[in-house]
Structure 1
Amino acid sequence: MRHFIKYIIRRLIFIIPVLLIPITLSAQSSDAYETAKKEIVQQFGSFLSLFEVFPEHALPGAWDNFKQLQSPENAIPPKYRELMQLAVASQIPCDYCIYYHVAVAKAFGATDEEIKEAVAHGAQTRHWSMVLQGNQVEFEDFKAEVDAALKYMSEK
């Protein structure tokens, strides 16, 4: 009987902490979610639907990523960052993203002409990507051609 009791106690020593992990993580996740939500409201004046529809357990990480990529310390200035994202959003296409990135790009000083050009660059990239991919141009050959063309142009 003693051995049986010791056996049960040993098992419980391992099982109880394992059972408590989800409870602890849930509390931490809830705190992190509330912190992220509070920061989002402070940043935007409301809890935007793009964050509201995101899974609660994943929102703190997504918000941290969002803040890091929007940081003023980034190498790419905000206006150019938004124009790049607009070019991508236009090619997906994503109406929500397009609206957001046009509005934010304008807030950072982008002109209508710069917005048109960003979209055109996105379209041009998609066009040539389709031409190259559709015709199955060998990637290593293409890289060699581009390198040779850049060398030629730099020597002109």
Structure 2
Amino acid sequence: MATARLLSDIEVEKIPAVKAVFDDIRATRKSDFVNNFWRGLANDPVSLRRVWEQLKAVMVPESAIDPLTKEMIYIAVSTANGCSYCVHSHTAAARAKGMTDAQHGELVSIIGLAGQTNHLVTAMQIPLDPQFEVT
């Protein structure tokens, strides 16, 4: 159960600042769908706009990292942070951007391996090799 009320489209229409962000979400994504994350965040219009603008600045423009890889990174970080909602939503986004079952399987294997080795190195408190220092 959500800890924040999820604003309906009728409620959003009555809050110009929220409506403007929702309109931009729809236009940017070329979809009428606005997911529950944004509906919950809409209770705070300032945060809604700030987070949406940050997401747009990182995830939307063409950059050195292609859109599918960005989504796969988001899945990995969301898994590490234990955010089931984000794992699901960004897996759907990655699939929409062409992620195959084979890529997803490999991604999950990498996430699992990284989690395991991260925990082992942390438990053993292994010192960093000087060769890995950024100079």
TM (normalized to structure 1)?
0.64
Question: What letter matches 1:88 in structure 2?
Answer: V
Q: After superposition, what is the alpha-carbon deviation per residue over 1:23-63, rounded to whole angstroms, capped at 9, x for unaligned?
A: xxxxxxx6543321221233331332111111222111111
Match of 2:5 in 1: none
1:34 and 2:34 are equivalent in the alignment: no
Residue of structure 1 aligned with 2:121, choices 132, 143, 148 = 132
CA contact (8 A) 1:90 1:119 kept: no
Taking the TM superposition and a 5 Å limit, the aligned residue runs for 1:68-83 are 68-83=57-72
Question: What letter matches 1:101 in structure 2?
Answer: H
Cα distance in 2, alignment partners of residues 119 and 84 from structure 1: 11
CA contact (8 A) 2:18 2:45 kept: yes
Runs (4+) off by over 4 Å: none
Cα distance in 2, alignment partners of residues 93 and 99 from structure 1: 11
Match of 2:107 in 1: 118
Where does structure 2 lack aligned partners over 5 or more consecutive residues?
Answer: 1-14
Taking the TM superposition and a 5 Å limit, the aligned residue runs for 1:38-77 are 38-42=23-27, 43=29, 44-54=31-41, 55-77=44-66
Q: Secondary structure at the match of 2:65?
A: coil
Aligned residues: 115
- Tell which deviates more after alignment, 43-52 or 129-138: 43-52
Identity over the aligned pairs, expressed in percent? Answer: 23
Q: CA RMSD in A?
A: 2.0
TM (normalized to structure 2)?
0.73
- Tell which deviates more after alignment, 55-64 or 31-40: 31-40
Structure having the higher Rg: 1
Question: What letter matches 1:50 in structure 2?
Answer: F
Which is bigger in relative contact order (C-alpha 8 A, separation at least 6)?
A: 2
Question: Which structure shows the bigger proportion of residues in helix conformation?
Answer: 1
Match of 1:91 in 2: 80
Where does structure 1 lack aligned partners over 5 or more consecutive residues?
Answer: 1-29, 148-156
CA contact (8 A) 1:85 1:101 kept: yes
